[in-house]
Structure 1
């Protein structure tokens, strides 16, 4: 399906996994993640641009961001700041900015279109046998 088209359902909402549907999707090519340095937001940016940029740092899709993604996010937030501060706004400029933010997978719909789903962290559970052994150790004073 790719980047365009309707937003796909979440994997957990499907009757069977996409891998079993026999689609002609090719496997992704893999590369090496590099060390990332996140630039600081410009203190002169509009408050909405700062809020969006800072939210990217704590969002799940940031796990996939590399330096080029952060550079694009910085440039887009700079443009967004100029747009928000300007007295004259254009619908075309807004559409262009929001479309470009889609390339950074800012919304859930953007992520689902490229098959990225962020999951709730799993709660750590301790098995009954581990708890029982810990109880026995405590009773024995070990």
Structure 2
């Protein structure tokens, strides 16, 4: 989807429109794939990046092929970072493009219509309180 990322669902004015083009597929096997290990020879930045994927909310959607893609990205970028030469802009651009395909950025998750909720928002029933709502409450007191 080209253009700016869509707004979060709770920020949209028009909520009666059904999401277009939404397809739901049940994962094969119904269980999480075995997660690859962090390689000891990877660059420290890539180790941290790969570990952060394991802790991120979108990782629940990852299949085995997604983990292997992340593993390949970490391997290639580690070689680039460990080479002792400055990282080429083209390589960094390709890394960012491939990392975006793994939903590592908020904008990419919105484009794919995946929204991650903070744990405290779920405890409150998912209610989002805006500054204007707080202001209205103070005025009505």
- Please tell me the TM-score bracket, short chain as reference: 0.7 to 0.9
Residue in structure 2 matching 1:21, options 17, 22, 29 = 17
Can you list the C-alpha shifts for 1:64-99, whole angstroms capped at 9, x where unaligned? 001110000000011111121121421011101111
CA distance in 2, matches of 1:105, 1:90: 23
1:1-142 alignment to 2 at 5 Å?
2=1, 4-17=2-15, 20-21=16-17, 25-34=20-29, 35=31, 36-86=33-83, 87-121=85-119, 122-123=122-123
What is aligned with 1:137? none
Output the CA distance in 2 between the equivalents of 1:119 and 1:22.
20
Q: 2 CA distance for matches of 1:13 and 1:75?
A: 36
The TM-score with structure 2 as length reference comes to 0.77
User: Structure 1 residues 42, 118: closer, same or farther in 2, change over 3 A?
Assistant: same
Cα deviations by residue, 1:77-129 (Å, 9 ceiling, x for unpaired) = 1111112112142101110111100000011111111110000222289xxxx
Structure 1 outlier segments of 4+, above 3 Å: none
Cα RMSD between the aligned structures? Answer: 1.9
**Structure 1 CA distance, aligned partners of 2:27 and 2:71?**
23
* Contact 1:33–1:66, Cα closer than 8 Å, also in 2: no
Q: Which runs of 5+ in 1 are unaligned?
A: 126-142
Distance 1:88 1:124, change over 3 A: closer
